[in-house]
Structure 1
């Protein structure tokens, strides 16, 4: 899939290749870290690739957070809480242990930021805190992977 996204981005006109990176980074599991790599491998300036990947991932994450917040608000109004699935219980346990900052920074190693951010909001975490820490995490992960990709490409030349 990464190769297909890189090829898609490479086939766009030079002026629009950053749009391909934004689209790719908005996809869960691709996110800012693989989005920045896709951009660098497609030949885009690493700074532009990293910024585009961050923008795509942040926009996608915001859509998930605001959707989860809206759904939670409607569901919680006057209804009983039903038992959690085992997977959701495991995610809640990690949330309770590490908090919003920990889950945001480390959660991307297990699940996409879109899923972890929506889950945290559904658990009752502050929407603004989730957004803040997810943006910080997206910037860190996208920058690290983009820089590593740029260094790797420069070594291979």
Structure 2
């Protein structure tokens, strides 16, 4: 039995209404994302439109969560730094010395994917980095990086949605074509 038949047999054992939910759940996982989840959905026997739609929804849902929580975390960090700098300035004005709660850690070296992503961001802006980002790192990581640099939540969500739509559509079309060639 080949891989496609295995997937189709496996998916046929699951109720019809649950099948898109499986694709959506797979799409929420970084590195699988909507691109691979839609391919697996199509090869498992789902209608390409349903597989692509479920994959896009699952991937966008995970990106939405990352963006919302990432923006909150960034806001908390900025507020903490502002409070800390106010304390340092007040302490220096009173003739005290600066005391930090924690030692400053050496920054970790950036990974190859993060460096490539930052190049995309500088060169092409948020739209280009969002669309080209999946070539370097998963969309969830791309979203977190964009939000951490101060890009607005709505702008990140808009362009991540566009990128998810484009990449998922492309891979779903390719998967459908390959399936047609393989199965005749």
The answer to whether TM tops 0.5 is: yes
Instruction: Kindly provide the CA deviation profile for residues 97-116 of structure 1, in whole angstroms up to 9, marking residues without a partner as x.
Output: 32111110001011100001
User: Cα gap change, 1:150/1:43 in structure 2, threshold over 3 Å: closer, same or farther?
Assistant: same
Contact residue 40 and residue 49 of structure 1 kept, 8 A: yes
The match for 1:66 among 62, 65, 68 is 68
User: Cα gap change, 1:99/1:46 in structure 2, threshold over 3 Å: closer, same or farther?
Assistant: same
Instruction: Kindly provide the CA deviation profile for residues 15-54 of structure 1, in whole angstroms up to 9, marking residues without a partner as x.
Output: 2110100000000011111011010011000010000000
Q: Distance in 2 between matches of 1:38 and 1:83?
A: 42
Task: State the shift of 1:96 in Å.
Answer: 2.6
Aligned to 1:44, the other structure's residue is in SS state coil
Structure 2 match to 1:87: 110
Structure 1 match to 2:155: 129
The match for 2:173 among 138, 147, 152 is 147
* TM score, norm. by length of structure 1: 0.87
The match for 1:25 among 17, 20, 27 is 27
Rg (Cα) greater in structure? 2
Aligned to 1:111, the other structure's residue is in SS state coil
Structure 2 match to 1:48: 50
The answer for unaligned runs of 5 or more in structure 1 is: none
The answer for unaligned runs of 5 or more in structure 2 is: 86-103
Instruction: Kindly provide the CA deviation profile for residues 73-126 of structure 1, in whole angstroms up to 9, marking residues without a partner as x.
Output: 000114179875331773445423321111100010111000010111001111
Task: State the shift of 1:7 in Å.
Answer: 7.6
- Runs (4+) of structure 1 exceeding 2 A deviation are 6-9, 80-86, 88-98
Aligned length: 153
Structure 2 match to 1:101: 127
Structure 1 match to 2:91: none
